[in-house]
Structure 1
């Protein structure tokens, strides 16, 4: 019996706060795309793993974070250029929408402030602080954190994840994203499935199969003018492959990828197809935590309590 996982990197402005020039269309689309995805996932009853930047759970802050061991200037945009953009820095109402959804989403972590865990400047102290703050904020919302999605898929400090009771993370895709990935997957008939594995820290790596917005700009416009959206076609192929096998197809996106109505149509087409295939076959939809429990077994309450005291 195959399965499909969908994970979302929910970050609003935090995904771009360290850019010299943040992409305006993506920054401004964050809240819209978040709400559209909540509605679509609920309409098709698809539970997803929502990896949320911890800062979004705050109602307010002074932008200083003096007790956070971040590099100098890390919160500069929050204090200055975005000081009056609370819509980019905070999102408690959006977080509440995820938790209230009847789809049964998994609440996961995308770090506290979108720190890149694989960068040399990110030492263990910083990684630990990012996890600790995210976990503490989640606890305030009566949530635990089982899964972690690395900002920009920059994997690092897996031992810190294990110390904080995390059981799963999204590993890098073994396939290519973007135009090259579309070419390889279509022409060479590359498999869209991935294999979850348990690493040396006991964490389950749930690799990504496909980024749903890796084929954009003029190339997408030309492709859609000639035939159907190639990303929808690839997603359908991955869903079909999972339905035929015992394999896993893991697709992901950012809510801020939904900048126009055509992006909404892409997601509706994919989710409606997933819903039809789930009804017609033995295909299941899982969260990352579901996969981790299936692969490594459920974590006992004693183990979780031990991890939370570290």
Structure 2
């Protein structure tokens, strides 16, 4: 029986705060895209792994985080350009939307402040601090954290994840991203499926199959004018392949990728096809935690915490 996983890197402004010139359209689309994805996933009854930046669970902060061992200047934008933009720094309302959804989503971590775990400046102390702060906040919300998605897919400090009770992470794989990925898959007809593995720390690596917004700009406009959305074509192919086999197809995106209605249409087309295949076959939809649990113990079932917040 094949399965499909959808994971989301939910970050608002934190996904861009360290960049010299953050992409304005993406930054301003974070809330719009988040709500659109919650609604679409509810419409098609699709559970997903929501990897949420921990800072979004705060209702306020001093914007200095003096007790946090981040590099000098890491929180500068929060204190300066975004000092009057709580909508980019906090997201308790959006987190509630996920937890109160009619769909049983997985609550996962995307670090506390979008620290890049694979960079030299992210030492062990900082990695521990990022995870410990996320766990504290998750506890406040009555949530547990089973899965971790690395900011910008920059894998590092896997031992720290294991020590803090994380069971799964989204690892890298030969993905079908962008123009090269579209033509590579179309010409070579390569498999879209991935195989989870248990690493040396006992973590289950649930690799990505494809990023759903890697084919954008002029190339996308041209392709859609003479054909159809190439990312929808690839996603359908991956879903169909999973339905025919016992394999796993893992799609991922950021909520802020949904900047226009055409992006909503992309996701609607993908989820609609997933619904059709799921109703006609034994295809299932899982979260990353589900996959990790099934991979370790096929007879077990995953449990989710009940939301609890003030």
TM-score, length-scaled by structure 2: 0.95
Question: 1:173, CA displacement in angstroms?
Answer: 2.6
Separation in structure 1 between the aligned mates of residue 235 and residue 146 of structure 2, nearest angstrom: 26
Segment of structure 1 superposing worse, 169-178 or 91-100:
169-178
Q: Does 1:201 align with 2:211?
A: no
Q: Which residue of 2 aligns with 1:108?
A: 108
Equivalent in the alignment of 2:130: 130
Identify the residue that residue 68 of structure 2 maps to in structure 1.
68
Q: Distance in 2 between matches of 1:242 and 1:176?
A: 16
Which residue of structure 1 lines up, in the alignment, with residue 148 of structure 2? Answer: 148
Q: Structure 1, residues 217-275: CA drift from partner, whole Å, max 9, x if none? A: 00000000001101000000000000000000000000000000000000000001101
Match of 2:34 in 1: 34
1:23 corresponding residue in structure 2: 23
Q: Describe the SS at the equivalent of 2:63.
A: coil
How big is the shift at 1:174?
A: 1.9
Superposed CA offset, 1:70-120 (max 9, x none): 000000000111000000000000000000011100000000000000001
Structure 1 residue 157 displacement after superposition: 0.2
Alpha-carbon distance in structure 1 between the residues aligned to 2:137 and 2:272: 34
Cα deviation, 1:30-79, whole Å, max 9, x if unaligned, reads 00000000000000000000000000000010101000000000000001
Query: 1: CA distance between counterparts of 2:275 and 2:163?
Result: 37
SS of the residue aligned with 2:29? helix
Specify the SS of the correspondent of 2:107. strand
What's the CA shift for 1:176? Answer: 4.0
User: How do residues 212-223 of structure 1 correspond to structure 2 at under 5 angstroms?
Assistant: 212-223=212-223
Listed as ranges, the matches of 1:1-310 within 5 Å are: 1-297=1-297
Mapped to 1, the partners of 2:26 and 2:38 lie a distance apart of 18
- Tell me the distance in 2 between the aligned counterparts of 1:278 and 1:190: 22
C-alpha separation in 1, matches of 2:9 and 2:71: 23
What per-residue deviation string (whole Å, max 9, x for no partner) do you get for residues 167-199 of structure 1? 000001323411100010111101100000001
For the residue of structure 2 that corresponds to 1:7, the secondary structure is: strand
Are the aligned partners of 1:197 and 1:204 in contact in 2 as well (CA < 8 Å)? yes
For residues 29 and 205 of structure 1, the distance between their equivalents in structure 2, rounded to whole angstroms, comes to 30
Q: Which structure 1 residue ranges, 4+ long, deviate > 6 Å from structure 2?
A: none
- Structure 1 position 297, deviation (Å): 2.8
Q: Is the 8 A contact 2:243 2:283 kept in 1?
A: yes
Q: Find the counterpart in structure 2 of residue 308 from structure 1.
A: none
d(CA) in 2 for partners of 1:273, 1:129: 41
* RMSD between superposed Cα atoms in Å: 0.9
Is the CA contact (8 Å cut-off) linking 2:176 and 2:211 kept in structure 1? no
Using the alignment, how far apart are the partners of 2:256 and 2:222 within structure 1? 22
Name stretches of at least 5 consecutive residues in structure 1 with no aligned partner.
Answer: 301-310
For 1:278 and 1:195, the matched residues in 2 are separated by 20
Q: Secondary structure at the match of 1:194?
A: coil
Q: What number of residue pairs does the alignment pair up?
A: 299
CA contact (8 A) 2:175 2:211 kept: no
